């Protein structure tokens, strides 16, 4: 089956091949002008956006949407592989990508595909990290070498702290982290007289955020998930606040600090009462 025939293939078992053929056609002469202009660098925003849209579908527990978004993530993989195949300096294909993945999965799961043993998930992760360091010849490099490189800083903070904790660099209790949060909060308060552009303000706020991330780690909570919940709660409450003000004939632009505070407290009280009612037997 040639590329043109494959583009119109309906065989469920050959849809990956079909996607590869479509991607090749889009980049070929006479294909799509937009696709033809793209580079690895120009596609970075698309890759990030598609990953976050996929995450949103997971959080919404929407299977149909998740299926669609996973397709969009796959498109990014196929696009980058197609670009690499066209570039003699890179010269790898999606088949090379898949082979590398398969080899890595087998290599890093010796407890499944070999004779090694792993009693629990923690042992699997420890072994994975050991194998990864061996593969990258980084056994003698610093423990945190390249750790979390390229991740959003909140996620990187969690990854750095987790890896350091694995070798024993950690607080002895949750209370110790809470004490550190209080200490960092005092240091942030000490910067209040400083101008906003003073580097010490940014530094102390960063220290506070990093310590809170560590508290999340100690409690087994992903800081991204915790912040997502806080964002959703704020969005819900602010929308309800806006509706309350509108019902009173007050726009957001005209609302005073007192209007905001009263409406906010009303929304919180309504949520508390609704929660209490929901817990009644």
pLDDT attached to residue 144 = 86
- Burial of 29 by CB count in 10 Å (0-12 exposed, 13-18 middle, 19+ buried)? exposed
**pLDDT digits over 120-159, tens only?**
888 888 888 888 878 877 667 788 888 888 888 998 999 9
Residue 18 has pLDDT above 90, yes or no: yes
**pLDDT digits over 161-179, tens only?**
998 998 899 999 999 999 9
226, 218 in Cβ contact below 8 A? no
User: Is there a shared CATH topology between the 3-102 domain and the 150-221 domain?
Assistant: yes
Question: Degrees (nearest 5) of the Cα angle 153, 159, 164?
Answer: 125
CA 69 to chain centre: 15
3-state secondary structure of 62: coil
pLDDT attached to residue 1 = 77
At the fourth CATH level, which superfamily is domain 3-102? Answer: MazG-like (1.10.287.1080)
Q: Average of pLDDT values for 248-254?
A: 96
**How many residues belong to the chain?**
281
pLDDT attached to residue 278 = 67
CATH 1.10.287.1080 given to domain 150-221: yes
pLDDT attached to residue 279 = 64
Extents of the domains making up the chain: 3-102, 108-141, 150-221, 225-278
What residues contact residue 242 under an 8 Å CB cut-off, 6+ apart?
252
Q: How many CA atoms lie within 13 A of 262 on its CB side?
A: 9
pLDDT attached to residue 149 = 85
Question: What are the helix and strand counts (H, E) for the chain?
Answer: 13, 0
pLDDT attached to residue 234 = 96
Residue 203 — left, alpha, or beta (φ > 0 → left; ψ -120 to 50 → alpha)? alpha
pLDDT attached to residue 202 = 96
Residue 74 has pLDDT above 60, yes or no: yes
For helices 15-27 and 63-86, give the axis angle rounded to 10 degrees: 50
Cα end-to-end span (Å), the chain: 65
pLDDT attached to residue 99 = 96
Distance CA(100)–CA(81), nearest Å, equals 13
pLDDT attached to residue 130 = 83
pLDDT attached to residue 138 = 62
Average pLDDT, the chain: 92
**pLDDT digits over 212-239, tens only?**
999 999 999 989 889 989 999 999 999 9
pLDDT attached to residue 54 = 94
pLDDT attached to residue 123 = 87
Distance CA(20)–CA(210), nearest Å, equals 42
In this structure, what is the dihedral angle of CA atoms 134, 139, 144, 148, given to the nearest 10 degrees?
A: -10
- Burial of 239 by CB count in 10 Å (0-12 exposed, 13-18 middle, 19+ buried)? exposed
3-state secondary structure of 278: helix
Residue 281 has pLDDT above 80, yes or no: no
């Amino acid at each position: 089956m040639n590329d043109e025939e494959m583009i119109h293939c309906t065989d469920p078992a050959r849809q990956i091949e079909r996607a590869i053929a479509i991607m090749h056609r889009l980049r070929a002469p006479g294909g799509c002008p937009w696709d033809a202009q793209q580079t690895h660098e120009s596609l970075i925003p698309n890759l990030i956006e598609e990953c976050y849209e996929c995450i949103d579908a997971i959080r919404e527990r929407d299977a149909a949407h998740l299926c669609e978004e996973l397709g969009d993530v796959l498109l990014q993989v196929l696009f980058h592989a197609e670009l690499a195949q066209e570039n003699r300096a890179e010269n790898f294909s999606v088949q090379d990508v898949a082979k590398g993945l398969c080899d890595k999965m087998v290599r890093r799961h010796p407890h499944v595909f070999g004779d090694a043993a792993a009693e629990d998930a923690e042992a699997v992760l420890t072994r994975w990290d050991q194998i990864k360091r061996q593969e990258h010849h980084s056994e003698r490099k610093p423990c945190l070498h390249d750790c979390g490189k390229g991740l959003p800083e909140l996620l990187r903070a969690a990854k750095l702290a987790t890896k350091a904790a694995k070798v024993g660099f950690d607080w002895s209790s949750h209370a110790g982290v809470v004490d550190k949060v209080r200490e960092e909060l005092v240091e942030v308060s000490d910067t209040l007289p400083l101008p906003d552009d003073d580097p010490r303000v940014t530094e102390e706020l960063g220290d506070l955020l990093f310590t809170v991330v560590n508290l999340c780690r100690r409690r087994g909570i992903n800081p991204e998930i915790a912040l997502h919940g806080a964002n959703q709660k704020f969005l819900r409450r602010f929308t309800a606040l806006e509706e309350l003000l509108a019902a009173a004939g007050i726009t957001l632009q005209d609302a005073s600090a007192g209007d905001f505070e009263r409406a906010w407290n009303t929304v919180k009280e309504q949520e508390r009462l609704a929660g209490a009612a929901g817990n009644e037997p």
